[in-house]
Structure 1
């Protein structure tokens, strides 16, 4: 079976001449469909740069990024915008909800842009709202709900189009511990029941312990990889802490 995401020798550099900064260096790995992957490492290691390049928000300086059979690193702007809209989902630390729209209307937005039939829209919105526990909030506006509920709304919006892969950048960064746990449990449940493929950048070992596999990045290079396997989440959490300590990660920055 072909991997869903295949990254080959990706590099990202900024500047010219003697002022060149190598943000990513010869990054290569694969992600299978249905995996829940975490990306971790010290501050400035290149985590968010990697996510932005893979998510087509930024372009690599060189290398190939295949999502399915499409090499998004070689796509032109128009084709890339269409691919991003049709196949990718994004969850960010900032919720990016539209205050003038209800929770339901925020979730519906990408489906409306894709001209999805009304009946299908209703079915999808109800299903995803139930998964994230916000079905009773659909008629409310963002200013009427909590930060955790806003993030679950943003996550529902990202996932309602059933994207090939979901990219999440520090999705629990602005949440309290209970709201973070609620979101992570919802994402984990979606991954297990719908085989959703999720790649999440996080500095938080607690959040990372919900993943199946963690890729560690250091100085723009892949430094280590660990698998949860048959470990409990608590055991995996301890293993992640040990790796972060060995590579200089933010061990003291966990919930």
Structure 2
């Protein structure tokens, strides 16, 4: 099966000559449609740099990134902007909700930009709000929401367009444990029930234990990867902790 995402020999260098710094070196991996993959590693390992490359926010110095066999960084800027809007969904630690819009209006914003018919918009918003358990909050404004409710609204907005891939950057970083669990359960259910493809960068072993595969990065290179397989989430959590302890950094706060 052809992978949804193919990363080939990525290298990313900042600066020039003696001041050059290589953030990523010889990074290669594939992600199949329907996978839930976590990216972890010590501080400065290159996780955020990698996510920026996959999000098309930055470009690699060398190597190629393919999505559905399309080399995304060979596109012209207008085509790349269209590709990003139509195929990628983003969930960040900061909610980035518009305070002047209701929950429903925040969620439907990307659909309105894409000129989706009104009836279809209502159906899609209702469906995604149900998935994240915020159907009764659609008429409220962000200032009336808890942190967890804001993050689930932001996640619903990212997913309402049914993107080809969801990129999540520390999505539970600002949440309490219950709100974090609610979000992770929702993402896990989407992955299992809708075959949604999710790539999540996280420092939190608990959050990572909801993934099905973890790719570990150290010093800008791939260190190792582990699969959950038939393990319980608790057993996978312990395995993640063991790997983090091996590759360095504080186990309870590996960024």
Displacement, 1:61?
1.0
Q: Say whether 1:29 aligns with 2:29.
A: yes
Task: Please say if residues 8 and 63 of structure 1, whose CA atoms lie closer than 8 Å, have aligned partners that are also in contact.
Answer: yes
CA distance in 2, matches of 1:21, 1:114: 39
- What corresponds to 2:74 in structure 1? 74
- What corresponds to 2:145 in structure 1? 145
- What corresponds to 1:166 in structure 2? 166
Name the SS of the counterpart of 1:251 in structure 2: coil
| RMSD value, Cα | 0.8
Name the SS of the counterpart of 1:25 in structure 2: strand
Task: Please say if residues 203 and 250 of structure 1, whose CA atoms lie closer than 8 Å, have aligned partners that are also in contact.
Answer: no
Name the SS of the counterpart of 1:108 in structure 2: helix
Stretches of structure 1 that go unaligned for 5 or more consecutive residues are none
Name the SS of the counterpart of 1:252 in structure 2: coil
CA distance in 2, matches of 1:83, 1:125: 22
CA distance in 2, matches of 1:207, 1:224: 18
CA distance in 1, matches of 2:171, 2:250: 17
For residues 250 and 118 of structure 1, do their structure 2 counterparts lie closer, same or farther at Cα, with a shift above 3 Å needed? farther
Task: Please say if residues 63 and 73 of structure 1, whose CA atoms lie closer than 8 Å, have aligned partners that are also in contact.
Answer: no
Stretches of structure 2 that go unaligned for 5 or more consecutive residues are none
Alignment of 1:1-255 (within 5 A): 1-253=1-253
Moved beyond 3 Å, runs of 4+ = none
Name the SS of the counterpart of 1:173 in structure 2: coil
Name the SS of the counterpart of 1:115 in structure 2: coil
Displacement, 1:209?
0.1
Task: Please say if residues 165 and 197 of structure 1, whose CA atoms lie closer than 8 Å, have aligned partners that are also in contact.
Answer: yes
Task: Please say if residues 89 and 163 of structure 1, whose CA atoms lie closer than 8 Å, have aligned partners that are also in contact.
Answer: yes
Task: Please say if residues 167 and 198 of structure 1, whose CA atoms lie closer than 8 Å, have aligned partners that are also in contact.
Answer: yes
CA distance in 1, matches of 2:91, 2:85: 14
